[in-house]
Amino acid sequence: MPPPLRFLQEREFWFNYGAHRMRYLHIPAVTPQHPSLPGLVFVHGLLGYSFSWRHNLDFFSQRRDVYAVDLLGIGHSDRPSPNRQKTGVPDFSLAAAAHRLLEFMHSLGHEQFDLVGTSHGGGVVMMTASLDRASAHPLIRRLVLVAPIHPFMTNARFRLALFRTPFGRFLLTAFAKYSEVLRVESVGRLYADNSLITPETRTGYAINLDDLCSYTYALEVVRTWREDMQQLTTALPSISSIPALLLWGQSDRAVDAASGLLLRESFRKAQYVVLPGVGHLPYEEAPEPFNRHVQQFLDSE
């Protein structure tokens, strides 16, 4: 029996970055506008991938080109070992991920982009925007930040500090290897209403959660957390003029919604929206209001 098709495999393409490949989805605009609208790039969270946006891609592709990446090291992109004893091992820091994302965007040929980033991907998006602002012809027009990691968040500091220690790294790897409960709960904790988690959801995320390489990747991302937040703090003033939508679920247990008020102070033109009864993944748990808020923001003057 042939293996099952990957999510939107018929829409997948590959971006070569050095010796490695990043997978991305491209859905062309159904009804292209004149003049054309900016391309829209979606960037997933730490253990997510392009599948995370399954309730959103078709909606936004009605009038604009839509792209959803699998960041290097996760999803269906190459998963090079982070063993630093070897040469040519990729850097999984926030700045390195941002460099790869910006190079990917330059390869697409659009004059402008709007970016949607969630959780860890939100941090990557902000860092990417800072790099882009330093160029002679910036590409990025607007940012949609969905419960992004940021320097002012406090509720995750203990967990992050733990997983940066040798014991914490061992603990996560051991539980991931032997505990199916952990893999199931890793999705359940991100929803406010677990009854909305479908078999499709669990099957889709099993691509990452059942692969031990995913946890190695996550630990490598966490390893540079302190340095990443310092760099992001330095980068925020450079993107303060970019219009931004900060969107949270009220019941987010990963990145506290109230911390978004602190992040909002870093932007001159920012909207702050909190969806009631929703967790860390509003684009999955409440796709209709999520899509509506994002559309209104992108279309506003």
Domains of the chain: 9-155+228-299 (3.40.50.1820)
- Alpha carbon 34 to chain centroid, angstroms: 29
CA–CA dist 126, 148 (Å, integer): 9
Single-letter code of the amino acid located at 51: F
Q: Compute the average pLDDT of residues 175-182.
A: 52
DSSP letter for each residue of 229-269: HHHHHHHGGGGTTS-EEEEEETT-SSS-TTHHHHHHTT-SS
Residue pair 20/90 in contact by the 8 Å Cβ criterion: yes
Residue 211 is encoded by which pair of tokens? Answer: 């692969």
Neighbour-count burial of 251, counting CB atoms closer than 10 A to its CB (0-12 exposed, 13-18 middle, 19+ buried): middle
Q: Of all residues in the chain, what percent carry a pLDDT higher than 90?
A: 68
CA–CA dist 90, 20 (Å, integer): 9
Alpha helices in 46-165 (DSSP H): 57-60, 94-106, 120-133, 157-163
pLDDT of 85 strictly over 50: no
Query: What's the chain's average pLDDT?
Result: 88
pLDDT of residue 158: 43
Residue 20 is encoded by which pair of tokens? Answer: 């490695």
CA–CA dist 257, 253 (Å, integer): 9
- Please give the residue that has the higher pLDDT: either 194 or 160: 194
